[in-house]
Structure 1
Amino acid sequence: MSKVFSAHAVSVDGYLSGRTPDGEKEFGRGLGDAPMLFDWYFDGDTPSQVFDGFKLSKQSVAFFDTAAARVGAIVVGHTTYEHSSRFGGGSPHPDAPMVLVSHEPVPEVGEAQALVTTGIGDAIATARELAGGKDVGLMGGGVVTSALEAGLVDEVILHQVPILLGGGRSYFQEVAEHVRLRLIEAVPAPGVTHLRYEVIR
């Protein structure tokens, strides 16, 4: 059976954006002169084979492309969808369809995007159908937290950037119970450390 996993760049203190994530220009940015959390996507000399325009370090590209190639469909939360200009009516992944999960109707959803308003379980089930046997990716802190609480996540990948933002939008929201993780891979690379965890059920 396909796996469900999340992958996102975060600061060491667990934020995916600085204190003013009020629009797409601030998404992923730290405070003042703090670097972008996504600089490592473009600071290397090795092109990604999955995402056009990404040039990563040799260490990062092997890890990143392996994870990206696993994705057959991706579930995205409404907040991330809006902060990302609705992905232009497409998907954040070049080769995988997107499933938007929302608590309310989204009239502007694109024709290439599937909308699910009946909860995270149904959204992941829809994504599995679209994934063709490949894995399902999760994008957005609310989506990841809801899926963790529902016991639907198999792995969590954190691309940890060596900066403390001290505030902003936290990647993980408050969960009702502890979620135990087991580190199964750690790859240090220029500007980022890639951490892959298994969710222990």
Structure 2
Amino acid sequence: MGSVIMHSVASVDGFIADDNDDVGPLHEWYFNGDVPIRERDQGYDHSGAGSRFRVSPASAEYVRTMWNRIGTIVMGRRLFDLVNGWEGQPPTGDHVVVVSHRPKPAGWHPEASYHFVGDVAAAVDRARELAGDRDVAVNAGDVGGQILAAGLVDEVAMDVVPVVFGSGRRYFGRTDGRYPLAGPHVVVHGDGVLHLRFKARP
């Protein structure tokens, strides 16, 4: 069985978007290099620039290795609605589990392996089942924070971008309490981004 990895790009003060859900410069490093992340690029760009994923060599090696391990993405309904579920084509992985009390929109990409589950524990169980021996990637934010608080996260992965937001959507959502992490056991310096991975302590 693979790991459950909470992941997102974040500002240095720990925000994944501003108060208006705008990611600003957080995703620019995905498009500032010469190396494509994957041969079959989905072409998704949250900023709407329409560019393909092309990053620095250090980021490419890190992201490719991580993305190749992902079988399922877990996301919240807020992000699903913001990006319209990436039009049924997630950036990586074969399946998506959406934590939501509302069902999949009627007629929305029936061919896509998207599963709508009402609570975080059930969502992680379903994601693990779908992923098999590959990893589950949990999008950071409120849902990610709930999954961390439930003790279901094995690792925390942050792509830290040198910008300060001051306020907005927090990487760890609205969760309270202390959750000690070990490491970082991975530190990779990309162009305009620092990739960090921490083990979650039991």
When normalised by structure 2's length, the TM-score is: 0.87
What is the deviation of 1:51? 6.0
Q: 1:42 to 1:120 in 2, by over 3 A?
A: same
CA contact (8 A) 1:44 1:57 kept: yes
In the alignment, the residues of structure 2 paired with residue 150 and residue 50 of structure 1 have an alpha-carbon distance, to the nearest angstrom, of 36
1:103-142 correspondence runs (5 A)? 103-108=101-106, 110-111=109-110, 112=112, 113-117=114-118, 119-142=119-142
How many residues align structurally?
Answer: 188
CA contact (8 A) 2:68 2:92 kept: no
- Structure 1: give runs of 5+ residues left out of the alignment: 30-35
1:11-90 correspondence runs (5 A)? 11-21=11-21, 26=22, 28-29=23-24, 36-49=25-38, 52=41, 53-88=52-87, 90=88
- Give the equivalent residue in structure 1 for 2:98: 100
Cα shift readout 1:5-51 (whole Å, capped 9, x = no counterpart):
02211000011112322xxxx3x11xxxxxx1001101001111266
When normalised by structure 1's length, the TM-score is: 0.87
In the alignment, the residues of structure 2 paired with residue 99 and residue 191 of structure 1 have an alpha-carbon distance, to the nearest angstrom, of 30
In the alignment, the residues of structure 2 paired with residue 196 and residue 56 of structure 1 have an alpha-carbon distance, to the nearest angstrom, of 19
CA contact (8 A) 1:185 1:196 kept: yes
Q: CA RMSD in A?
A: 1.6
- Structure 2: give runs of 5+ residues left out of the alignment: 42-51
AA partner of residue 33 (structure 2): G
In the alignment, the residues of structure 2 paired with residue 20 and residue 51 of structure 1 have an alpha-carbon distance, to the nearest angstrom, of 31
> 4+ runs of 1 displaced by more than 4 Å?
none
Between the aligned residues of both structures, percent identity stands at: 35
What is the deviation of 1:179? 0.5
- Give the equivalent residue in structure 1 for 2:143: 143
What is the deviation of 1:97? 0.9
